[in-house]
Amino acid sequence: MAATTNAHALGLMRLVRLASVGNTDTRAPGLDVRQQLVIQALGLDGPMPLHTLADQLALSPSTMTGIADRLEQAGFARREHAQDRRVTLLQLTPAGEQVFAKEVDWFGFIVSGTLEQLTPRSARAVSDALASFAHPSHS
């Protein structure tokens, strides 16, 4: 199993590298990696408490607060109180939703280009695997 896991890790590493090198022009300029991850998390899962985002992204609460501040200042996110006023939710603004849409387009472009390099059978297997991550089961 370890050899298979290593092969998967190396394959994913290569895919991420292919996705990252030279393909930054379709992404939102001026955002750092952590800000992009927050926008992706909010775009995928909707508004959530700052502490939940911090936990998901393995960030300290103060780092998450700083990221939320910068996204708010840029107009990409806003804080709102949940029904329990002690909980502050972060959610995307319309401008943030546009950034998320650019992220989706960028990843789609990368996946499309990557799948073209594979045999039809391998492309189908990778496509099916990626699709299973799009809507993970919560069972």
Write out the chain's pLDDT in tens, 139 residues.
Answer: 566 677 778 877 777 776 666 655 556 668 888 999 999 999 999 999 999 999 999 999 999 999 999 999 999 999 998 777 778 899 999 999 999 998 888 888 878 888 888 899 988 888 888 888 777 664 4
Tell me the C-alpha distance between 11 and 78, whole Å: 37
Strand partners, 77: 92
| Residue keyed to tokens 């394959």 | 11
- Around Cβ 64, how many Cβ atoms within 10 Å? 22
Domains of the chain: 30-119 (1.10.10.10)
What is the pTM assigned to this prediction?
A: 0.78
The pLDDT value given to residue 60: 95
State the pLDDT at residue 98. Answer: 94
* Sole residue written with tokens 């990368």: 110
